[in-house]
Structure 1
């Protein structure tokens, strides 16, 4: 089942980036457009603090919100650690 697209193109691009990195995107929620969930949900992954991120439907600055979402995905410590071990093999 495909998810609905985000109305802001910058944020939709960031969501596609998250999905390519294995993150799960769920649409809906009480105050947000949706949430993204880390594929690892690891206890060592920055204490789980960044394993879930809210996706706002109408952020004040869509480009800034999209960059923040990409940063959460790209700075996942478990993903970086696993990438380092794969490159050493």
Structure 2
């Protein structure tokens, strides 16, 4: 079953970008719209600090939040060392 789309176009595009790179998007839970999870789940990857990131439903600036999501995905240190790529 496809996940629920985010209401902000910029954030939805960032979530699609994350999914293309293997990140899992889960909708719901707490105050956030959802969360994204790193596919590598590596404890050595910056101490796991960026292996999970919240996605807000109504950020002050949707464009900035979308950039933040892409930055988390792009800065994943485990992705740079993946032997299967």
* Both proteins in one fold, TM over 0.5: yes
Q: Work out the CA distance in 1 between the residues paired with 2:19 and 2:72.
A: 13
Q: Work out the CA distance in 2 between the residues paired with 1:52 and 1:86.
A: 22
1:62-81 CA distance string (max 9 Å, x none): 00000000000010000012
Q: Work out the CA distance in 2 between the residues paired with 1:53 and 1:79.
A: 16
1:25 aligned partner: 25
Larger Rg: 1
1:34-89 CA distance string (max 9 Å, x none): 0000001001111100000000000000000000000000100000122xx567xx
Aligned residues: 85
Q: For structure 1, which runs of at least 5 residues remain unmatched after alignment?
A: none
Name the Cα RMSD after superposition: 1.1
1:7-51 CA distance string (max 9 Å, x none): 000000000000000000000011000000000100111110000
TM-score by length of 1: 0.91
1:65 aligned partner: 65
Change (3 A) 1:24 1:86: closer
Instruction: Find the residue that maps to 1:70 and give its secondary structure.
Output: helix
Instruction: Find the residue that maps to 1:18 and give its secondary structure.
Output: helix
Q: For structure 2, which runs of at least 5 residues remain unmatched after alignment?
A: none
